[in-house]
Amino acid sequence: MHFTDLGLRAELLRAIADQGYDTPTPIQAQAIPVVLAGRDLMAAAQTGTGKTAGFTLPILQLLGSRPAVARGKPRVLILTPTRELAAQVEESVRTYGKHLPFKSAAIFGGVSMAPQLKALKNGVDILVATPGRLLDHLGQRNADLSAVEIFVLDEADRMLDMGFMPDIRKVINLIPKQKQCLLFSATFPEEIRALAKGLLRDPQTVEVARPNATAELVTQAVYHVDKARKRELLVKLIEDHSWHQVLVFTRTKHGANALSEKLDKAGISSAAIHGNKSQGARTRALADFKSLKLNVLVATDIAARGLDIDQLPHVVNYELPNVPEDYVHRIGRTGRAGSSGEAISLVCVDEHSLLRDIERLLKQNIEKRLMPGFEPDPSIRAEPIENGRGRQGKPGGQRSGNRGAQGPGKPARGSNGPATHRNAAAHHSGSRGR
């Protein structure tokens, strides 16, 4: 199948061709006809499958075929859990809609509200937002959702994990009952299914991969190494293999900063992104990483689902995540859009239990490698793991409860500005989505 077989208008096909694409991914091939038919959709797709274009392309087509009921008011509302994902989705809207007259804006926390207010007053057709910042604007009567025709809830399971469900229900109560609804989620826990049941009307279901599957083109491997020697091993891997672009995940903000500083001292250009970094700093760091001015971007899990980097070759888990599902989303940053990738995990004795949890989730054993000279010291005993929220897990990474020591938490609202389709400066950044 080709994009020309999906009934998309010439302006969209032109924009798709401009990006060098010809063949839709499975989620795009299945979702686009459903959305174009005006049906509600419940879609399960793993990260990196091209689902964003799977809804932005048909939405742009539908807007072009219908007259606007209320000029200037948003006709489409897309909710995302994180700033990175909001920026990525809005960028997709601009990319594929560049030959069409529609205005879009991304609204999320962390920068001034003033540019967002200006964008809203000037009128937008497609509004991409994180829940908390959108509610801030609604509370100040800066936004009017009464003309929303299409509502998209993206990464619904991540919304649940981050404690956004009450905010989402508030937003749903402010949009028209008669609308087309599209719900995308990697997994469908009971609360998401309950939300879908009350929100979607006779939805069509699309599933393109089993839950928690990893991309087939990603090679996975584990290096067992003592915690104190992880940085040294990472430097050796980067230098020995001449890695030029590596996304490295740490468990904590402090750990990300410390690792980035040590890599710089070792002569490897790097930067850290996490929730305590300013919006401008995150934007610059990601832009420099994409343009290869930086070799390494060190990130906490806030970036696991929102970063979209074309043909990213390497992801390194400097520390394993406390929640095994987050491993899937981390390594999903590579092996995207048909490209191959490599995901390496540096695992110390403290993390053996976390590794077992991940392998149990994946239903497969990950290849184990040893680097000569970095063999683990068998006399070292496991210690509790700092999980990034000021508490500690049990020795060896053993988790308690169904989500482990890392509870969902609810991020505080930040102040944040939009990225409009005329100003891309604020797009590529963000932390917890407010």
144: its two tokens = 């009017």
- 348-369 tens-digit pLDDT: 999 999 999 999 988 899 999 9
Q: Please tell me the predicted confidence (pLDDT) of residue 338.
A: 57
Q: Which of 358, 326, 381 is nearest to 158 (CA)?
A: 326
Q: Which residues contact 55 (CB under 8 A, 6 or more apart)?
A: 31, 35, 41, 78, 152, 154, 182, 184
Q: How far apart are CA 269 and CA 244, in angstroms?
A: 10
Q: Please tell me the predicted confidence (pLDDT) of residue 386.
A: 66
Contact at 8 Å (CB) between 31 and 43? yes
Going by DSSP bridges, is the β-strand pair 150-153/180-185 parallel, antiparallel, or unpaired? parallel
Query: Once rounded to an integer, what is the mean pLDDT over residues 267-285?
Result: 85
Residue 293: enclosing H or E segment and its boundaries? none
Domains of the chain, with CATH numbers?
3-211 (3.40.50.300), 218-397 (3.40.50.300)
Helix axes 131-139, 114-122, angle to 10 degrees: 70
Q: How far apart are CA 284 and CA 208, in angstroms?
A: 34
Going by DSSP bridges, is the β-strand pair 104-107/419-420 parallel, antiparallel, or unpaired? antiparallel
Query: With pLDDT > 70 as the criterion, what percentage of the chain qualifies?
Result: 83
pTM: 0.65
Query: Once rounded to an integer, what is the mean pLDDT over residues 60-87?
Result: 89
Q: Please tell me the predicted confidence (pLDDT) of residue 397.
A: 45
Q: Please tell me the predicted confidence (pLDDT) of residue 301.
A: 81
Q: Which of 125, 158, 189, 156 is nearest to 41 (CA)?
A: 156
Least confident of 129-138, 172-181, 250-259, 277-286: 277-286
Q: What is the 3-state secondary structure (H, E, C) of 305-320?
A: CCCCCCCCCEEEECCC
Q: Which of 417, 37, 408 is nearest to 206 (CA)?
A: 37
Q: How far apart are CA 89 and CA 92, in angstroms?
A: 5
What number of other Cβ atoms are within 10 A of residue 389's Cβ? 13
Q: How far apart are CA 153 and CA 141, in angstroms?
A: 22
- 282-339 tens-digit pLDDT: 878 888 998 899 999 999 887 555 666 777 889 999 999 988 888 887 887 776 655 6
- 90-116 tens-digit pLDDT: 999 999 999 999 999 999 987 789 999
Radius of gyration of the chain (CA): 21
- 213-227 tens-digit pLDDT: 555 678 999 999 999
- Pick the more confident residue, 408 or 329: 329
